[in-house]
Amino acid sequence: MLGTIVNTCTILAGSIIGSIFKKGIRKEHQTALYTAMGLAATGLGINAVVQNMPDSRYPVLFIVSLALGSLTGTILDIDGAFGRLTGRLSGGNLSKGLSTGILLFCIGTLSILGPIQSALYGDYTYLFTNAALDFVTSMVLASTYGVGMALTAGVLFLWQGAIYLLATLLGNFMTADMMTELSIVGGFLIASSGISILEIKDCKTMNMLPSLVVPVLFCWIAGML
C-alpha cells in the first residue's frame, strides 16, 4: 500500500498548492486553465482508446458497456445525486472538477495496474510514476476548482486500496483482456469529461460510470467458461 499512500499524498499536496495559486489568478487566466484541462482530458481519453483498441478481443464490448452503463446511471441519476452532494460543499463548479479528477486519477492504466503490481510483485514503479503525474494534474485542477479537489485523494485511496486487496485475495483476477477493455471504456469516459468541460456537450459523465462494471463482469464470466 506504500505506493497508494504516496499517490494519495501527492494529490493532497497538489490540491493545496493549486488552491493557493488560485487566489492570485485572474478570471481570464482561470478560464484559460479551464480550457486547457478540457483539452487535456479529451486528449488523454482519446489516447487511451487508440492505444488499447487494437488489442481488444471483443471489439463491440465497449459499445455495449457504454450503452448499458449510461442507461443504468441515468436511471439511478448518479450525476444529479453527485451534483447535489458537491453543491452542499461548494457554490462553484466543484462537481465538474471532482468528476474530472476522479476519472483522470482513477481510470487509467497506471492507477489500475499499479496496485496489482504492488500487491503481486512488490513493484511500486507504476504507482510512483502515477503519483508524479497526479501531483501536476491536481495542482492545475485545484487552481481552477479550488481546494475541494483534495476530496479526490480519498476516492483514489479507496479505489486503489480495493484493487490492491482484490489482487492480494484473488491473484490474477485482473486479466490482460479485462485491463484492455476497462482502459477502452475508461478512455471514452475521460474524453466525455473533457468534452463537458469544454462545454461542447454536457455528457453527464458521472451517469456513465456503471459502464466500467460491464467489461469487468464480462471478462470474469468469459474466463470461467
Category of 202 on φ-ψ map: left (φ > 0), alpha (ψ -120 to 50) or beta: beta
What is the separation of C-alpha 204 from the centre of its chain, rounded to a whole number of angstroms?
Answer: 14
Q: With a cut of 70, say whether residue 161 has pLDDT above it.
A: yes
pLDDT at 171: 63
pLDDT at 34: 74
Is the separation of the CB atoms in 193 and 203 below 8 Å? yes
Q: How confident is the model at residue 69 (pLDDT cuts 50, 70, 90)?
A: very high
Q: Convert the pLDDT of each residue in 7-37 to its tens digit.
A: 999 999 999 988 887 766 677 777 787 788 7
pLDDT at 72: 95
Q: With a cut of 90, say whether residue 143 has pLDDT above it.
A: no
Q: Convert the pLDDT of each residue in 176-223 to its tens digit.
A: 888 889 889 888 988 888 888 788 988 888 888 899 889 989 988 888
Is the separation of the CB atoms in 117 and 125 below 8 Å? yes
Q: How far is CA 103 from each of CA 24, 119, 220, rounded to the nearest angstrom?
A: 27, 22, 23
pLDDT at 100: 79
Closest CA to 38 of 175, 203, 222, 184: 203
Q: With a cut of 90, say whether residue 67 has pLDDT above it.
A: yes
Q: Convert the pLDDT of each residue in 105-129 to its tens digit.
A: 887 667 877 887 788 778 888 789 7
Is the separation of the CB atoms in 69 and 214 below 8 Å? yes
pLDDT at 73: 92
Q: How many residues in total does the chain contain?
A: 225
For residue 204, give the amino acid letter: K
Closest CA to 95 of 32, 20, 135, 148: 148
Q: How far apart are CA 71 and CA 19, in angstroms?
A: 35
Angle, CA of 41, 45 and 49, to the nearest 5°: 170
